Amino acid sequence: MKILVLNGPNLNLLGLREPDIYGRQTYSDLERFVESCAKEEGVEIKLFQSNHEGALVDEIQAAYGNFDGIVINPAAYTHTSVAILDALKAVSLPAVEVHLSDVSKREAFRQISYPGMACLKTYMGLGFEGYRQALRFLKAYLEGAKR
Ligand code: CA2
């Protein structure tokens, strides 16, 4: 089972600013955490972070036929990107959205998620743990789909 884990703009700066919202751990810590969760769950993953919308769209397109599912934290593109929404719909792979912070309790402009409209589920406000939950959910979903 192969899952693509995508992270959007500025997540590479994790730990450098706004620790009250995003915590003190760095993007490398997040990569290590997700890798170890994937090992525990027995799933193969590819991690990809980009600050560019088109690069994320390219990666989603390339997932078609190569991955079984997608975990995505689109970061700020959550609230603007119809392009990422369309890419997720186009490849039609089961996808789960993750946010480190609880966006539902933040600014009004964070209340909409375009990519979320093509996702089976959203985990928010759980910090890194949201990625583990998302991998677990996708694994169970994909196993169910095979039966
Ligand atoms: O809570 C999340 O995971 C977000 O996707 C994070 C995004 C934000 O735009 C979304 O509304 C919610 C921001 C990602 C990175 O932001 C940083 C800002 C300062 C320092 C380090 C990271």
Write the pLDDT tens digit of every residue in 97-128: 999 999 999 999 999 999 999 999 999 999 99
User: Do 43 and 3 contact (CB within 8 A), yes or no?
Assistant: yes
Q: Given ligand 1 and candidates 16, 21, 27, 73, which is best to mutate, with the most ligand atoms within 8 Å of its CB? A: 73
Q: Given this model, what pLDDT does residue 74 score?
A: 99
pLDDT digits (tens, 9 = 90+) for 48-61: 999 999 999 999 99
The average pLDDT across 81-104 equals 98
Ligand 1 atom closest to Cα of 11?
Answer: 15
Q: Given this model, what pLDDT does residue 147 score?
A: 67
Cα–Cα distance, 39 to 138 (Å, whole number): 14
Nearest CA to ligand 1 atom 6: 75
Q: List, in order of start, the domains of the chain with CATH numbers.
A: 2-142 (3.40.50.9100)
Q: What are phi and psi of 3, to 5 degrees?
A: -125, 130
More confident residue, 55 or 16: 55
Q: Is 48 helix (H, G, I), strand (E, B) or coil?
A: strand
Ligand 1 in reach of 76 Cβ (< 6 A): yes
Paired residues of 122 in beta bridges: 97
Q: What are phi and psi of 121, to 5 degrees?
A: -160, 155
Distance 120 CA to ligand 1 centre (A): 21
Distance 127 CA to ligand 1 centre (A): 11
